[in-house]
A = this chain, B = another copy of it.
């Protein structure tokens, strides 16, 4: 894996560790629980991805830097918890950055394994969102990705952008930057203007 991927990968792990630790603290878990939820939120998406495609051992077992980055992310979340809780609630900022980065990494790996485009997209969305899903399950909540603002939709659109970029031969580095930015911008706009997918339910409670 080239260096750029590794750096954005580590940023993704770091922000998801903050997000996981922050969620765990909102449930007042003990320090170890905070670390474990941070760990699972960080590596969950990539671990599922690697188990699905059969890449063994999974990515974080081959390089201990991930564990240290997660420790750092959890520590930052504990030390600056008021400020981070604010960012988390208002913008879902850390989630969004992690979602964007992991979506693109998942798609890159899917392409490398020569999977069918619709499978590549599925793998990207799963890699991006599964960490958050399992984080929420661990603290006994319905995963936020299932009922909140265009979360997975942003991941899907960004993933399509990236695949379009690959198709048109765009430089990999810029393709990553652009696609990640697209996901983040869609999310921020959705949160700011309270956009949601069109409802499939009648107005009245059924």
Residues of A within 8 A of B (CB): 24-25, 27-34, 36-37, 39, 47, 51-54, 56-58, 60-61, 63-64, 67-68, 78, 81, 113, 115-119, 122-123, 129, 133, 137-143, 145-148, 150-153, 156, 196-201
Q: Describe A's contact surface by its main secondary structure.
A: helix
Q: How far is the CB of A151 from chain B (nearest CB, A)?
A: 8
Within 8 Å by CB of A147, from B29, B67, B147, lies B29
Q: B residues within 8 A CB of A67?
A: 118-119, 122
The 8 closest A-B pairs by CB, nearest first: A54-B56, A33-B146, A64-B116, A32-B152, A64-B118, A29-B146, A53-B57, A31-B197
Taken together as a complex, chains A and B put the C-alpha atoms of A169 and B204 apart, in Å, by 56
Within 8 Å by CB of A36, from B58, B139, B146, lies B146
Whether B142 pairs with A138 at a CB distance below 8 angstroms is yes
Q: How far is the CB of A16 from chain B (nearest CB, A)?
A: 16
Q: B residues within 8 A CB of A139?
A: 142, 146
Q: How far is the CB of A173 from chain B (nearest CB, A)?
A: 27
Given contacts A32-B152, A78-B200, contact A51 B53 (CB under 8 A): no
Q: B residues within 8 A CB of A56?
A: 52-54
Taken together as a complex, chains A and B put the C-alpha atoms of A28 and B153 apart, in Å, by 17
Taken together as a complex, chains A and B put the C-alpha atoms of A36 and B118 apart, in Å, by 14
Taken together as a complex, chains A and B put the C-alpha atoms of A145 and B199 apart, in Å, by 30
Q: B residues within 8 A CB of A53?
A: 56-57, 61
